[in-house]
Chain A
Amino acid sequence: GENVEQHPSTLSVQEGDSAVIKCTYSDSASNYFPWYKQELGKGPQLIIDIRSNVGEKKDQRIAVTLNKTAKHFSLHITETQPEDSAVYFCAGITNFGNEKLTFGTGTRLTIIP
């Protein structure tokens, strides 16, 4: 089955700087890659996603890039703000038709004021 690896496990950046989180996946047939943000005491929430027919997608301060050849995708957050502090999960779809997401191990992002 699909295996998704995520790095780093923790990341601290100064407010206003950029943050980058990277993920690799094993199943070359996977073609949908969402990113979820989990704030303390809450459930994960989708922040951005990308499909394999697109190399990059941007939504305000958040962007995701996908390299299908290398089987990796990254989350970029620019102009970080304190409310960006959370745990971020990448994920990949495997077992098409059954919508089974395989999540990465998570990155705890801390924004230093």
Chain B
Amino acid sequence: DTAVSQTPKYLVTQMGNDKSIKCEQNLGHDTMYWYKQDSKKFLKIMFSYNNKELIINETVPNRFSPKSPDKAHLNLHINSLELGDSAVYFCASSPGTFGSEQFFGPGTRLTVL
């Protein structure tokens, strides 16, 4: 029944490593997003895809590379992890029409040591 799912829920890794977070939605939505929430709870968009096409790419380091193999999946790969990458990463989806509700996943807490 899960609408937007993410794996893993927790990710602890060393600086310099490469890691991926996976996201899947079963809502039939056209648009998917990645958000970063820092320790102060600030929530900021990183990327948005519509029908597998990148439409929003905020000023995110190019160590972050999203990939959308199909409309239902949006994965986030991070190269050369840094301490500042520690945060909670949320995937979300929406029908994509103007002003539509965004459905968020449960989040992935990334800790870089």
Tell me the A residues contacting B by CB distance below 8 Å: 31-32, 34, 36, 38, 41-46, 49, 51, 87, 89, 93, 95-103, 105-106, 108
Contacts and interface: CB of A to CB of B under 8 A. Distances in A.
Interface of B: 4, 31, 40-45, 48, 55-56, 90, 92, 94, 96, 98-102, 104-107
B48 A99 contact: yes
Nearest to A52: B99
B107 A43 contact: yes
B43 A103 contact: yes
A44 B43 contact: yes
B42 A98 contact: no
Contact of A49 (B44, B48, B99, B106): B99
A89 B99 contact: no
Contacts of B99: 31-32, 34, 49, 51, 93
B93 to A, nearest CB: 11
11 contacts: A36-B104, A42-B106, A44-B104, A51-B99, A98-B48, A98-B55, A100-B48, A100-B56, A101-B45, A105-B40, A106-B42
Contacts of A102: 45
Most buried by A among B40, B43, B48, B56: B43
A43 B106 contact: yes
A17 B101 CA distance: 28
B56 A101 contact: no
Contacts of A42: 106-107
A3 B55 CA distance: 20
A105 B31 contact: no
Contacts of B43: 44, 89, 103, 106
A46 B101 contact: yes
Contact of B101 (A49, A93, A95, A98): A49
B37 to A, nearest CB: 9
